[in-house]
Structure 1
Amino acid sequence: MGHQPARRATGAFTALAAATAAVLAATGIGGAAGIGGATAGAGTGAPAAAGTTFVRPASSGHSLVEAADKPTSTSDCLKTYRIRCYSPLQYRKAYNLDPLYRAGITGKGRTIVIVDSFGSPTVQHDLDVFSKAFGLPSTKVRIIRWGKVPKFDPGNTDHVGWAGETNLDVQYAHAIAPGAKIVLVETAVAETEGLTGLPEMMNAEYDLIKKGVGDVISQSFGATENTFPGFAKGDHSALMKLRYAFKAAAEKNVTVLGASGDAGATDYMLDGSTLFKHRVNSWPSTDPLVTSVGGTQLTLDNSGKRLGIDTVWNDGYGASGGGISGIFDRPDFQRSVAGTVGSHRGTPDISLTASVNGGAWVYSSYASATKGWGITGGTSEATPLFAGVVALAVQQANHRLGRINDDLYALARQGPSRSGLVDVVTGNNSFGGVKGFTAGKGYDLASGLGTIDGTAFVKALARGAH
């Protein structure tokens, strides 16, 4: 979620059981429910009880620079702010996307749906300023207000935080897929730990999916699985009743993405500010119907050329979310990595840039005190970036791609030259005093399958794992 909490092997049975036991013992979580249902009361409809405490907006706390007059180069950021900063043009080069743009693959004819509480009152103006600054074509953002969205209050930290998240999401989805349409869904209630706010988001997504709107949905929000009602007793029905939007997306071949979180292998309690002291994970990132997007740290020069290999995001301001679900069984697409995930769903699936020290330039004017350019990071940066990549692949394929997780894991077995997947082998996601997971060769619970070479990956994803 931005720099703030992203609310945040096959083989003999004995070998798999041992791997599962080891993972669960290290994780400290209990029994799981089936992928398609809960241990009790699964189905659709209104959730049972609601949480009570608002979680901080997804990118809250991840902006290290605000109100700058203009975006500057990476070298200037190092001199002035002592951190790295990057533009969308640097990301395009780093991820080798320019060959696609030259070939006319820009996301044209495709639609990215972005869901954020409250939205931003200046989202269109700010996108226009952002696009002009980097020589990008702008686009008209279609705004859908779901429910009685309150008037923006610059004195309300919740409103301000979500406005920042909204601008980040819109600007970077557009930067990667400049030809795609952007639909911004603003909901009336903020996402919180527990349930409050999530039903509004799921209802909005479900409605748009049923109406045929959107090829890919970008979600920079989440709630720790352990904070859902009934978790401690193994009753996951409250969460399972929220999955109807994702099931509808699967039926309509809409790709759904979720930020893996910004607190490494742990995440936040119901109060939204206290970290669990053991490994936990967050939904919707853990949902098998969702592609979980984790975070890396890039080291680029002013042009976007890499000065070193990508590593797991863990820069002191946050760390890439990843670990084992306490609710969902291991899905079929992770059968090949059962030695790592055991019998439960593991996250993330894939990772893109998210480091705050190496964050993205974002323009905002919704609050006079912070009007101007800021630098923001987090997995809520990585997620809209990847949404743009998916939109490119949908255009390349000339049809929706739907659930892409099966193809991602199948492509990984084909090697980087054919799949466009680039392994991330260094770094870990330990955070908040909780030991995380270490990146290594192949799939891991810090970076997933790794990151991408954009041109090769888009072509591979478009053709499928054939």
Structure 2
Amino acid sequence: MKQKTMMFALAAAAALVAVSAVPAAATTSSSQWNYQVHPIAIRSHFSPGSVSHALPTGPADCLTATDGEFACQTPDSIRAAYNIPAEIDGVPAGTGQTIVIVDAFGSPTVRQDLATFSQAFGLPAAHLNVMYPTGTPTWTGHGTQLGWAQETSLDVQWAHAVAPGATIDLIVAANDHGNTINLAEQYAIDHKLGTVMSMSFGVPEYEVHGNNGQMGQAHKVYVDAQKQGMSVFASSGDDGSDNTAGSANYSYPASDALVTSVGGTNLLYGTDLEKNGLRETVWGDFALCATTCADGPIGATGGAPSLLTAKGGSDVAYNASVYTGVLTYLGFMGADANGFYFFGGTSAGSPQWAGITADVVQAVGHRIGDVSQYAASWSGSGALYDVTVGANSTPTFSGGYSATAGWDRPTGHGTPDVGAIIHALG
């Protein structure tokens, strides 16, 4: 048996624990809660500290290099899996569109890392604007800042991967307080910055309960976005159907009626793991792990009946398992830990759905607004792949929810065939 090629940096291992740990009960007062991110980053052996080591060509190559553990994704493999055009009308997909990405704290190396990522995968140079409407945070690299920096890198790089011609407006909130992030979102709406907006964060609904004022502030942002025809996406969460609450519990703002909620899958397409047309399953490591999963169960997609709204779970879905995760470059981990990481979480799906929506808007020539309103018809026409296997149960709530034919709570109406979506919209 060949030597295992995975390398785990101490900093990366610490980050994994920090950003995927069980959230504690709410410690904020009834007038304030904080948004959370859960990017799952595991150090890969590819290009540690530089781009001098060969990157895998796709998930099959990655499986071979990691002894069957990681079926990692590249921009080319994601485009192939979801039929995402690299160009539209002879120019890079997304040209003429602006993707708004909202994060807290930001990343100290976001521009350099995006340039490294683009060069490594042969993408056009990115058009990135970074804005601090609520004040410029001081980077310490400690606590929750590390997770948010990882999230920022993931969001920006993979929005660019699927919409390489689009401008990215990164809106950085000064902290992760709900009110502060709401104000950052409002800034993007008031200044009419983009056609789509991605929010790869959330708060368990058990922490929102009793603070309808702050949720109302957020909902007003999404009402204003709807008036502009802006498409808004949020990740469904990475702690299964209960958010560690022990009973069904969803995440906000994914549960907002005007936000398209993105659930998570294991993407098996293009590998020997794909059998009998089963290209994707629910991302729920505790119920059905995608690969050898030698590092054990890591997470599960959110998706549950909302306690606060009428939403019953995810609207759509996208690849989210760390074992089928996307390669993302981090340059702020320290000289010995910088490099490409395997990233998972539904927070990878939100910016990519935003990116492909920018592609769709470019192709059809008009904004399309709330994507969830189309999901059922797209599913019926074959423009969404129906995920029917797997569940998002967890050790803290074994009930969970299983995938079924048609809409289900973990994966909504399914994952995209972007070419078919463009055709459906004419």
TM-score by length of 1: 0.76
Q: Following superposition of structure 1 onto structure 2, how do residues 121-140 of structure 1 map, counting pairs within 5 Å? A: 121-140=108-127
Q: Secondary structure of 1:348's partner? A: coil
Change (3 A) 1:198 1:364: same
Instruction: Give 1:323's aligned residue.
Output: 304
Deviation at 1:367, TM superposition (A): 2.5
Large movers: runs of 4+ above 6 Å: 302-307
Instruction: Give 2:12's aligned residue.
Output: none
Instruction: Give 1:179's aligned residue.
Output: 165
C-alpha distance in structure 1 between counterparts of 2:191 and 2:21, whole Å: 29
Retained in 2: the 8 A contact 1:112–1:215? yes
Structure 1 stretch 320-329 or stretch 299-308: which is displaced more? 299-308
Deviation at 1:181, TM superposition (A): 0.4
Change (3 A) 1:250 1:285: same
C-alpha distance in structure 1 between counterparts of 2:160 and 2:274, whole Å: 21
Q: Secondary structure of 1:164's partner? A: helix
Retained in 2: the 8 A contact 1:93–1:304? no
C-alpha distance in structure 2 between counterparts of 1:99 and 1:116, whole Å: 26
Q: Following superposition of structure 1 onto structure 2, how do residues 78-227 of structure 1 map, counting pairs within 5 Å? A: 78-80=64-66, 82-98=69-85, 101=88, 104=91, 106-154=93-141, 156-190=142-176, 197-227=177-207
Deviation at 1:56, TM superposition (A): 5.3
Q: Secondary structure of 2:182's partner? A: helix
Q: Which runs of 5+ in 2 are unaligned?
A: 1-15, 24-28, 48-52, 286-296
Q: Match for 2:119: what amino acid?
A: K
Q: Does 1:370 align with 2:356?
A: no
Instruction: Give 1:310's aligned residue.
Output: 280
Retained in 2: the 8 A contact 1:6–1:221? no
Change (3 A) 1:229 1:322: closer
Instruction: Give 1:43's aligned residue.
Output: none
Retained in 1: the 8 A contact 2:195–2:367? yes
Instruction: Give 1:293's aligned residue.
Output: 262
Q: Secondary structure of 2:234's partner? A: strand
Q: Does 1:421 align with 2:384?
A: yes
Q: Following superposition of structure 1 onto structure 2, how do residues 347-426 of structure 1 map, counting pairs within 5 Å? A: 347-368=313-334, 369-412=336-379, 414-416=380-382, 420-426=383-389
Q: Match for 2:232: what amino acid?
A: V
Q: Secondary structure of 1:243's partner? A: helix
Q: Match for 1:426: what amino acid?
A: V
Q: Secondary structure of 1:363's partner? A: strand
RMSD: 2.6
Instruction: Give 2:237's aligned residue.
Output: 261
Calculate percent identity across the aligned residue pairs.
33
Deviation at 1:66, TM superposition (A): 4.9
TM-score by length of 2: 0.83
Retained in 1: the 8 A contact 2:240–2:302? yes
Structure 1 stretch 86-95 or stretch 63-72: which is displaced more? 63-72
C-alpha distance in structure 2 between counterparts of 1:116 and 1:247, whole Å: 20
Retained in 1: the 8 A contact 2:36–2:203? no
Change (3 A) 1:6 1:400: farther
Instruction: Give 1:439's aligned residue.
Output: 403
Q: Match for 2:386: what amino acid?
A: D
CA deviation digits over 1:146-175, x for unaligned, max 9?
323322223x13222111110100000000
Deviation at 1:229, TM superposition (A): 4.6
Total equivalences in the alignment: 382
C-alpha distance in structure 2 between counterparts of 1:99 and 1:112, whole Å: 17
Change (3 A) 1:303 1:252: farther
C-alpha distance in structure 2 between counterparts of 1:388 and 1:445, whole Å: 23
Deviation at 1:241, TM superposition (A): 3.1
Q: Which runs of 5+ in 1 are unaligned?
A: 9-46, 191-196, 268-274, 330-344
Instruction: Give 1:37's aligned residue.
Output: none
CA deviation digits over 1:271-318, x for unaligned, max 9?
xxxx21111011000001100001111124479999842111112211
Deviation at 1:410, TM superposition (A): 3.4
**Higher RCO structure (Cα 8 Å, ≥6 apart):** 1
